C-alpha cells in the first residue's frame, strides 16, 4: 500500500487554551492533494525539528461530542487535551482527522449511540448500521506526515490498527507510546470494548 504526494497549503500560528487553564501555541498546517479530499489539519507543537528528530505524533479522529461538548460517553476529549500537552513537551505533531464516529459520520454515530443504549457495544452498533467496525483509513495521515518531512515517529496511541496502517503506508513507527486511561462511569463499557475487541492497550480496573 502506498500514498500519493500531497503538499502544504497554509501554515499559521494559533494560540490554544483549554478549559482547565492549560495553554500553548500550535502551528496549524493545511494541505493540498490529500487522497480523501477532506480538510484534515496538522498541529505542530513544541517547535520540533521534524527533519532531524523523531517526533511524537498523535492521530486524533474528530469527535464533536467529546472534543467540543465534553461528552463522557468516550475518552476523546481527555485524550485530545493530554496529547496536546505531551506533544508540546517533547515536540511533534497532532493530526486532527475528520473521521467522526470511526468515519461513519456524526448522525450515524448518534444512531450508533442509540443502539448502544439498547445493549450493543460500539463495534456491534456500527455493524448493525451496515458499516465496518472501524472504517477509518489513514492514507491521508501518511500523506500529511510525508508533506511535513516526517518519515519516522513515535506514535501516541492505544490503538494497534494505527501502527499497522501507518507501517503499511511506509511510515516508520519507532515506538508506540500509550495515552492515559480516561475512564469514567459513562465510558467504562466503551473502553472495555476497545480493550477486549480490538486490542487497545487500555488497563481497566474491575
Q: Report the catalytic residues.
A: 134, 136
Q: What is the DSSP letter of 67?
A: I
Contact criterion met (CB below 8 Å) for 170 and 96: no
The string over 181-196, giving b where at least 16 C-beta atoms fall within 10 Å of a residue's C-beta and e elsewhere, is bbbeeebeebbbbbbe
Which residue, 70, 92, 81, is CA-closest to 17? 81
CA dihedral sign of residues 153, 158, 159, 160:
positive
Contact criterion met (CB below 8 Å) for 70 and 20: no
β-pairing verdict for 56-61 and 152-156: parallel
Name the residue with cell 511506509: 170
φ and ψ at 176, to 5 degrees?
A: -110, 125
| Residue 185: C-alpha distances to residues 19, 75, 191, 195 (Å) | 21, 11, 10, 16
Contact criterion met (CB below 8 Å) for 184 and 72: yes
Amino acid at each position: 500500500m502506498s500514498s500519493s504526494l500531497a503538499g502544504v497549503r497554509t501554515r499559521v500560528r494559533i494560540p490554544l487554551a483549554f478549559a482547565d487553564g492549560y495553554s500553548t501555541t500550535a502551528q496549524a498546517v493545511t494541505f493540498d492533494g490529500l487522497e480523501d479530499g477532506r480538510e484534515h489539519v496538522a498541529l505542530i507543537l513544541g517547535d520540533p525539528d521534524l527533519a532531524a528528530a523523531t517526533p511524537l505524533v498523535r492521530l486524533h479522529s474528530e469527535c464533536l461530542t467529546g472534543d467540543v461538548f465534553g461528552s463522557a460517553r468516550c475518552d476523546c476529549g481527555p485524550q485530545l487535551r493530554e496529547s496536546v500537552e505531551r506533544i508540546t513537551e517533547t515536540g511533534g505533531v497532532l493530526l486532527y482527522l475528520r473521521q467522526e464516529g470511526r468515519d461513519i459520520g456524526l448522525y450515524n454515530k448518534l444512531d450508533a449511540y442509540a443502539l448502544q443504549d439498547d445493549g450493543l457495544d460500539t463495534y456491534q452498533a456500527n455493524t448493525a448500521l451496515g458499516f465496518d467496525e472501524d472504517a477509518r483509513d489513514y492514507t491521508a495521515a501518511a500523506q500529511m506526515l510525508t508533506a511535513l518531512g516526517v518519515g519516522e515517529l513515535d506514535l501516541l496511541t492505544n490503538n494497534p490498527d494505527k501502527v499497522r496502517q501507518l507501517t503499511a503506508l511506509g511510515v516508520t513507527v519507532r515506538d508506540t507510546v500509550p495515552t492515559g486511561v480516561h475512564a469514567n462511569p459513562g465510558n467504562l463499557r466503551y473502553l472495555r470494548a476497545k480493550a477486549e475487541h480490538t486490542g487497545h492497550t487500555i488497563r481497566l480496573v474491575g
